[in-house]
Structure 1
């Protein structure tokens, strides 16, 4: 089986797609064939899946074997309402077989498949599954993307604890933006003083890739 890396986050709009694209580019620069999938995307209006199109454009530039793919190959399950899949789908049971089939198709052409989740770990998909359940069901390791603004200590530790309780191998990366200049004063000291490894998406993508690939 090829390497599967699941990108999750402490909440929505934390930077999963941005991080996913950086990972794809870094792995590709090392001579690895890359693939990407976002199993579920909500907020798809008039058939246009924004994340799917963005990821598709990126991966086609990096892996010529994927030129024949369409947006539906990148995002196999879409819903119009911009809400948790449980709500957006009207609690439709998850078609896990469809997702696994798409991943296996990608793996025939890839060394590494990056799987982008939707929202945070406890976004409900249906009555049986939360987003965190997909990580184990898809036999992936996880990258938890967290923010650098006030509150990130709580958000990061809660999400990390959830992954640990499920025995999911994972790494944490901080996605700091230009607005997060206070991180070094109000949050980072806690992490550093407690021995928490602070890896930043913008500066440490090479280290992040190394660790994830070897988990």
Structure 2
């Protein structure tokens, strides 16, 4: 089963979450990574590839790539084109039986065109969803609103994964969200203050990420 990875906003850690899962489980589970829509030149596909050191065979090509680092609806308009949401939904539906991490652009209400949002894409493609959230100030509001919006749709929410640095609010933010939403906690990852090398990242993944190895059974049963 393919899984859609979305977030509570931009830069909350979706690409890092995908990198963590791919680094730890791609070879043993035969996983692939797919970023359907990439905006801007800073490719998330390349980021995951560089961090994990995995062979290119684990990475599917972007369906759309736009130059402007902005929401897909605007980035595509600037190139006088439009995301074919029907075609993209059909494509994601067609791969739902495979083991693919599908990373969305930004949060669940990012517009792919003027009238179609990431939420619509996930619902039409019938993929289960993982929500990645920050642990910093503001995350309670952002995450609970995202969960409420997801639950109004025909979308299976697998749980929330938290990523962020150490701070005084971290533990209580996570607890508050999990208890208020009565949602499954998929795990947490503590961000380092400095950028890790690939080897440091891989060592940290093996040691700290998903220590009880619960994610394969939840994401790819």
TM-score in same-fold range (> 0.5)? yes
Partner of residue 34, structure 1: 31
Q: Does 1:200 align with 2:200?
A: no
User: Deviations along 1:35-92, whole A, 9 cap, x unmatched?
Assistant: 1110101112xxxx52122234567726x7x17x6xxx42120111111111111184
Instruction: Answer 1 or 2: which has greater strand percent.
Output: 2
Partner of residue 126, structure 2: 139
Q: TM-score, length-normalised on structure 1? A: 0.77
- Aligned residue-pair number: 197
Partner of residue 170, structure 1: 157
CA contact (8 A) 1:103 1:113 kept: no
Partner of residue 19, structure 1: 17
Change in Cα spacing, 1:138 to 1:193, as seen in structure 2 (3 Å) is closer
Once the two structures are overlaid, the 10-residue window that deviates more, 176-185 or 188-197, is 188-197
Q: TM-score, length-normalised on structure 2? A: 0.75
Change in Cα spacing, 1:179 to 1:74, as seen in structure 2 (3 Å) is farther
Q: Distance in 2 between matches of 1:182 and 1:7?
A: 24
Cα RMSD over matched residues?
3.0
Q: Alignment partner of 1:21: what SS?
A: helix
Change in Cα spacing, 1:102 to 1:167, as seen in structure 2 (3 Å) is closer
Change in Cα spacing, 1:56 to 1:189, as seen in structure 2 (3 Å) is closer
Change in Cα spacing, 1:119 to 1:213, as seen in structure 2 (3 Å) is same
Q: Distance in 1 between matches of 2:123 and 2:151?
A: 12
Q: Does 1:50 align with 2:50?
A: no
Give 1:167 shift.
2.4
Q: Distance in 2 between matches of 1:165 and 1:207?
A: 27
Change in Cα spacing, 1:32 to 1:26, as seen in structure 2 (3 Å) is same
Change in Cα spacing, 1:137 to 1:197, as seen in structure 2 (3 Å) is closer
Residue segments in structure 2 that go unaligned for 5+ positions in a row = 190-207
